[in-house]
Chain A
Amino acid sequence: MLRDSAHRYLLEQYSYIQREKILRAGGYSPEVWQAFAHFGWLGAALPEEAGGYGGGPEEAAILAEAVGRHLVLEPYIWTVVVGGALLLGSASAAHRDALLPAMVEGRLHLALAALEDDVGQGFAYVDTEARRVEGGWTLHGRKPVVPNGGIADLFFVSARTPDGVELFLVPRTAPGLRVRTYRSNDGQTAAELVLEGVRLSDGDRVQDASGALALLALAADHGAAAVCAEVVGSCAWLVETTCEYLKTREQYGAPLAKFQVLQHKLADMVVAVELARSMAHVAAAALGKPANERMREVSAARLQAIRCARLVGRDAVQMHGGMGMSQELDVSAHFLRLTMSTLQFGDEAFHLERMARLSA
């Protein structure tokens, strides 16, 4: 039912043309987000005690797949999946009690500012500093690439203390915080954060050094599992669209679909999507498991999703010829999003290394 209602709404309200309008208006539609909240989707994957509707990662995967199929710009994965996981894992009951309901109601956007100049997914490579002051902290540092940073109200910011890496919650309006916004290559909003003595209280700490890195890894795995489903939605759509295109486009006196070399390419795309689809389910189910098992299975799923995204994205463009390169056609936008997805929540190298380590 969740799947049907999401597809129905997005089919009617989120055509490529409507998406283009949202892009031109800044890459985010408050109306669409309110509709998501109204339909109960923002709380669909959260337990009832957290103000949600009793679902879990399976519900998140259903919505992420719809996000992928319809190429939704609105930050379901960043605000709800990752932000939700971070709030649920916060050491502060106040965060959970006050912020989760606001998020579920669509009144609060969240972003994770945990990566810096180090290009890996290692959350431990952080130079931003949190210095102890009377009654709290000051933060100093820079987070160049913060997805969803264009619209987030609150940022989860990782910083180094003498004890290790800790995680803080910083409001967009905090004095000493400079936010410069831009877009990511897939059209979503992003920002650079410069923290120049941002003053925080003890209550603004989400996790201390004993739990911050584990929480970040867990939240990133929630994001990773959702991206697996998103990739399946996008790739399945590209396979259907490319197949239809090849049936109608004539070259050398025959529809392109009659050429066996193209049929075989499409067949390889189908194989990739089916494997990625199975592993997206595995990833969603893995999120409730003990850390090592979870990480191993999420990594295996991400590897399939990354390979699927590359193969299907590139070949869909190739088979559409010049049209596939043109912004006018949604194929190119899917290609951009799929390409960016291969670099989020751990890239191929990250997941290969992690899986190798956990399988040894």
Chain B
Amino acid sequence: MNLNFSPEHQAFRAEVRDFLNTQLPLDIRERTLRGEKLSKDDHIRWQRVLAARGWLAHGWSKAYGGTGWGPIERFIWDEEVHLAGAPRRNIPAIDLLGPLIIEYGTEEQKQRFLPPILASEHWWCQGFSEPQAGSDLAALKMRAVREGDHYWVNGTKLWTSYAQESNWIFCLVRTSQEEKKQAGISYLLIPMDQPGVTVSPIITVGGVHAVNQVTIENVRVPLENRLGPEGAAWSMTQFLLSHERIVGAGIGASTRYIEEARAFGRRTRRNGVLLSEQPRFRERLASLEAELMALKYTAYRVLADEVAGKAEAAVVSVVKLRGGQLQQAITELMMEEGGQLSWPDVLTLPEGDPVVPPEDAYHAQQAFDRRKLTIYGGSAEIQRNIIAKRILRV
């Protein structure tokens, strides 16, 4: 097994790194590294920089304005953006919906929906989960009843990330009540700025507003907003998930957290001695670095298999499970080693001279927020079920 990237890929990494060093706005970078929440304007500002370079739509072919990158380029990109402190892009639009439209959309849909994504004019959220359909996605209930040239849509989506900043939502909806619950599901593309669409915030631990409940009441959606054939959404989603790559591993994020933890250790004293000079802290950090290395090379191995066209899809579950746990463990290390520095709720700290070092203030919030990594996108329990079923075949 070759653990090294080719010279071409190494050159690509250098190019990406140089681009990030010179083009990522400093204020955005600083706030991202600190764990602060960015505004939508910040995200748009960054997306425009990426679009100008032709580096916004990673999974899209060049014909549609994408990068045409293969899995390895995309993997390298994910590592580097996290290390550099670049903000997230509009993932639901770019990494999920875009490839779906390119694969299943009509020519009209491609022309109507792809350019506004690249121009950051359409901001999309993903309407998958529902109150009674979390990990068991096929239990979804949002109904779309066909009447002439449109559907009437009714139902509720839950945990919709950044719905408060989106003007479009792509929803999984039930277009018929068949025997098998996986059948009769379709994709609808729904504009959010219309009566009947209501976004209610859900505030999570640490005072974060990232997810929402979206209710859709008697909303009329024209047929031309259905993506793919009626009732085909389940297989389309499988296509989507099979192309979902190992970004869930969060290797770039973990690498950056490790660096943060090391810097934290060099500036923080416990019992009068720097943490970085204390065996217990050093060993905890080394232990996590060893875990990160194992995760990283497992991800590389999966990637090599993917390029060779013999990927074992279930191994992605290994990487996702471990990746989430690792990010939790490193952020918890910083929170725990910070002692009373981790007590203040950063959202309530007074203005003026910082009460605690600003770079440490967000450690606790990050640790709380990272709990979601083993819940969403298929919980840790679901990932273990997949490993048991598809790798062990039990």
Residues of A in contact with B (beta carbons under 8 Å apart): 115, 117-122, 125, 144-145, 147, 180-185, 187, 190, 192, 250-252, 259, 261-262, 314, 317-318, 321-322, 324-328, 332, 335-336, 339-340, 342-344, 347-349
Contacts and interface: CB of A to CB of B under 8 A. Distances in A.
Given A250-B132, A259-B381, 9 more contacts: A119-B275, A125-B269, A185-B206, A185-B365, A192-B355, A251-B134, A318-B380, A322-B158, A322-B211
A119 B272 contact: no
B252 interface: no
B139 interface: yes
A234 to B, nearest CB: 15
Contacts, number: 143
Contact of A125 (B139, B271, B336, B338): B271
Nearest to B328: A314
Contact of B343 (A147, A326, A349): A147
Given A185-B344, A185-B364, A261-B384, A119 B205 contact: no
A155 to B, nearest CB: 15
B340 A252 contact: no
A119 B339 contact: yes
Nearest to B375: A321
A190 B129 CA distance: 38
B344 A145 contact: yes
A184 B341 CA distance: 10
B205 A251 contact: no
A121 B204 contact: no
Given A119-B268, A251-B135, A322-B375, A340 B343 contact: yes
Contacts of A321: 134-135, 375, 379
B202 interface: yes
A119 B338 contact: yes
A261 B383 CA distance: 13
B164 to A, nearest CB: 15
Interface stretch (B2-10, B231-239, B345-353): B345-353
B238 to A, nearest CB: 17
Given A119-B341, A121-B339, A182-B355, A336 B270 contact: no
Nearest to A188: B343
Given A117-B269, A262-B381, A185 B356 contact: no
Nearest to B379: A321
A335 to B, nearest CB: 6
Contacts of A144: 340-341, 355-356
Contacts of B337: 119
The 9 closest A-B pairs by CB, nearest first: A119-B339, A120-B270, A145-B340, A183-B348, A182-B348, A184-B343, A183-B345, A251-B136, A327-B203
A205 B180 CA distance: 77
16 contacts: A118-B272, A122-B271, A144-B340, A145-B340, A180-B355, A183-B345, A183-B348, A184-B344, A251-B134, A252-B136, A318-B375, A324-B371, A324-B375, A327-B204, A343-B335, A343-B339
A115 B368 CA distance: 24
Nearest to A348: B336
B371 A185 contact: no
B393 interface: no
Interface residues of B, number: 52
Contacts of A327: 202-205, 207
B272 A326 contact: no
B61 to A, nearest CB: 35
A336 B367 CA distance: 11
A185 B135 CA distance: 29
Nearest to B345: A183
Given A119-B269, A185-B206, A343 B336 contact: yes
B166 interface: no
Contacts of B390: none
Contacts of A342: 336
A302 B17 CA distance: 46
Given A119-B270, A145-B340, A343-B340, A322 B348 contact: no
B159 interface: yes
Interface string B257-284: 0000000000011111001000010000
B339 A120 contact: yes
B349 A182 contact: yes
Interface in B313-327: none
A10 to B, nearest CB: 23
Contacts of B298: none
Contact of A325 (B205, B365, B380): B205
B204 A185 contact: no
A23 to B, nearest CB: 11
B145 to A, nearest CB: 25
A314 B272 contact: no
Contacts of B379: 318, 321
Contacts of A314: 371
A340 B367 CA distance: 12
A39 B211 CA distance: 43
Nearest to B132: A250
A344 B336 CA distance: 11
B37 interface: no
Nearest to A259: B381
Contacts of B355: 144-145, 180, 182, 192
B374 interface: yes
Contact of B271 (A118, A318, A339): A118
Interface string B120-137: 000000000100101110
A317 B271 contact: no
A118 B132 contact: no
Given A120-B271, A120-B339, A318-B374, A326 B202 contact: yes
